[in-house]
Amino acid sequence: MDLHIHSKYSGHSLLKPQDIARIARRKGLDGVAITDHDEIEGAVELKTDFPTIVGEEISSDEGDIIGLFLNEKVSEGPALDVIDKIRSQGGLVVMPHPFDSMRREALRSEEICRKGDLIEVFNSRVIRKEDNLKARDFARRVGLPGIVGSDAHSSMEIGRCWMDIASADDASSFMRSVRSAEVHTERSPLVVHLQTKILNVRKVFS
């Protein structure tokens, strides 16, 4: 599974949920997590056609926080409130791309990151290798399981990262499986950041 993908509902991706499923199958993936920004509509839509973890990348005052295995959309707000809202519906709290020095919305606070269930220890869109390594080292130091994700906003990015999870039927089975999962990581080319900037400009002037 690729555990960090954005659909058109994120606003800076053109990927339709059905296209994500088609590309994922072609690349040999058995499932995905759709983690759109402050929205779960794309994940819910895809779940009826393809094994999908309903996720959301939620804006907080400390940076982005991902919820996985959600039943309802989580509204943005203070980080601790976001974490509580994810857990109140049985979801898992993921700290995505923490300490990414090139990303304004990345989490910086170790105190907040410690409150997660999982740390994203490799993100294909992180530009500086050292920032992914810092996330990995932090997860090891505090004893939190690590996951990886492509953070895909385009078709070429889907499947750059994947984890071979024994079970992703629910949050509990996922957590039991994640530490022993086979992992593949690959960085995305820098051109993907240009694509995102172009989409953001188009959004402003559309």
List, for residues 63-93, the tens digit of each pLDDT value. 999 999 999 999 999 999 999 999 999 999 9
CATH number, domain with residue 190? 3.20.20.140
> DSSP 3-state assignment of 14?
coil
Position 92 scores a pLDDT of 98
Tens-digit pLDDT profile for residues 152-186: 999 999 999 999 999 999 999 999 999 999 999 99
Q: Mean pLDDT across the chain, nearest whole number?
A: 94
Position 201 scores a pLDDT of 46
How many structural domains comprise the chain?
1
Res 202 pLDDT > 70: no
Position 12 scores a pLDDT of 82
Position 51 scores a pLDDT of 97
Position 134 scores a pLDDT of 98
Structural domain harbouring 120: 2-205
pLDDT category at 120 given cuts 50, 70, 90 is very high
Question: Is there a contact between 18 and 26 (Cβ–Cβ < 8 Å)?
Answer: no
Q: Phi then psi for 76, rounded to 5 degrees?
A: -70, 160
Residue percentage of the chain with pLDDT more than 90? 89
Q: Phi then psi for 127, rounded to 5 degrees?
A: -75, -45
How big is the CA angle at 182 (ends 39 and 15), to the nearest 5 degrees?
Answer: 30
Res 191 pLDDT > 90: no
Position 205 scores a pLDDT of 42
* pTM reported for the whole predicted model: 0.94
